[in-house]
């Protein structure tokens, strides 16, 4: 199925909100009102915690599944998949504080609930995704593992993805998580700093290829001011 996507770049689209040696928060937004935020924190020698949040204030033409935040991707090393790069080995992912499931087929779940059956990780991102990722989508993703909370019993994003704390789009019965998830990732190598985030960008995905938002790299301001969005078409299976 052919999907139109926009990879938005810009000072208004991507911002580093706060950073330290062991923690950094980034965000990105689109003129439609769709927006996302992520906090990366080093929580162990080879452990990274990622808090992913849908901060949308509107959705424009992006409705239903297209307004659900389904993933985030980044690159631990040089551009692309390279031998010796750090990789995600596994971990856990839970519903964030003050967050709640919506329309899950097996019940209602709150903060701290393991949603490893609805989310996964990857190290070979496809299409516009960077290699390392968290996603509710099946393509290029290995489930964290856990109980099936929203049928069918496999990764079936956009179901299980994130909607904003103030719902901005009708879900049409799709299951989702309101606000945020928190993933604790076990890595193949120790991690000393978070330089890879500012060097390589972070990319958020809404729906299944519906919209990609990318945070800018340092030194890219000139290009950002000259440009806005990249429009293209591709197929995803």
**pLDDT (mean) for 191-219:** 87
Least confident window among 112-126, 169-183, 207-221: 207-221
Q: What is the pLDDT of residue 199?
A: 87
Task: Give dist(CA 237, CA 230) in Å, integer.
Answer: 21
Whether the predicted pLDDT of 30 surpasses 90: yes
List all residues 6 or more positions away from 83 whose beta carbon is below 8 Å from its beta carbon: none
Residues in the chain: 237
**pLDDT (mean) for 42-66:** 94
Three-state secondary structure along 83-116? CCCCCEEEEEEEECCCCEEECCCCCCCECCCECC
**pLDDT (mean) for 225-232:** 30
Q: What is the pLDDT of residue 166?
A: 78
Q: Which two tokens stand for residue 163?
A: 């909607």
Inter-residue contact 176 to 103 (CB < 8 Å)? yes
SS3 196: helix
pTM for this entry: 0.86
Task: Give dist(CA 116, CA 83) in Å, integer.
Answer: 27
Q: Residue 223 — pLDDT band, cuts 50, 70, 90?
A: very low
**pLDDT (mean) for 6-31:** 68
pLDDT in tens, 118-177: 999 999 988 899 999 999 999 999 999 999 999 988 899 999 999 998 766 678 889 999
Q: What is the pLDDT of residue 71?
A: 98
- The number of angstroms, rounded, from the C-alpha of 220 to the middle of its chain's C-alpha atoms is 22
Q: What is the pLDDT of residue 82?
A: 84
Q: What is the pLDDT of residue 105?
A: 95
Task: Give dist(CA 11, CA 29) in Å, integer.
Answer: 10
Inter-residue contact 39 to 17 (CB < 8 Å)? no
Nearest CA among 33, 114, 30, 26 for reference residue 73: 26
Helix, strand, coil percentages in the chain from 3-state DSSP, rounded to 5: 5, 40, 55
H or E element that contains 79: none
- The number of angstroms, rounded, from the C-alpha of 63 to the middle of its chain's C-alpha atoms is 18
Whether the predicted pLDDT of 2 surpasses 50: no
Least confident window among 29-38, 122-131, 176-185, 221-230: 221-230
CA torsion sign, 64 to 67 to 68 to 73?
A: positive
Inter-residue contact 213 to 14 (CB < 8 Å)? yes
Q: What is the pLDDT of residue 83?
A: 86
Between 195 and 20, residue with greater pLDDT: 195
Q: What is the pLDDT of residue 127?
A: 86
pLDDT in tens, 38-51: 999 999 999 999 99
Inter-residue contact 56 to 168 (CB < 8 Å)? yes
What average pLDDT is seen over the chain? 84
Q: What is the pLDDT of residue 224?
A: 30
pLDDT in tens, 83-98: 889 999 999 999 999 9
* Domain spans in the chain, listed from the N-terminal domain onward: 2-235
């Amino acid at each position: 199925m052919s999907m139109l996507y926009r990879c938005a770049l810009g000072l208004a689209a991507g911002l580093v909100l706060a950073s330290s040696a062991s923690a950094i928060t980034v965000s990105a937004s689109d003129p439609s009102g769709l927006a996302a935020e992520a906090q990366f924190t080093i929580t162990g020698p080879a452990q990274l915690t990622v808090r992913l949040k849908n901060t949308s204030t509107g959705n424009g033409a992006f409705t239903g599944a297209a307004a659900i935040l389904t993933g985030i991707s980044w690159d631990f090393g040089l551009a692309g998949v390279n031998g010796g790069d750090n990789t995600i080995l596994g971990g856990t992912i839970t519903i964030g504080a003050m967050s709640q499931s919506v329309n899950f087929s097996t019940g209602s779940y709150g903060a701290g609930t393991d949603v490893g059956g609805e989310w996964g990780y990857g190290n070979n991102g496809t299409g516009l995704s960077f290699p390392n990722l968290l996603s509710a989508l099946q393509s290029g993703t290995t489930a964290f593992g856990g109980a099936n909370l929203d049928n069918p019993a496999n990764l079936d994003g956009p179901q299980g993805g994130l909607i904003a704390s103030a719902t901005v789009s009708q879900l049409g019965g799709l299951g989702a998580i309101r606000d945020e998830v928190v993933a604790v990732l076990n890595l193949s190598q120790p991690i000393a700093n978070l330089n890879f985030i500012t060097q390589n960008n972070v990319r958020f995905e809404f729906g299944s290829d519906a919209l990609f938002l990318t945070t800018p790299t340092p030194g890219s301001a000139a290009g950002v001011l000259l440009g806005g969005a990249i429009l293209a078409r591709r197929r995803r299976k």
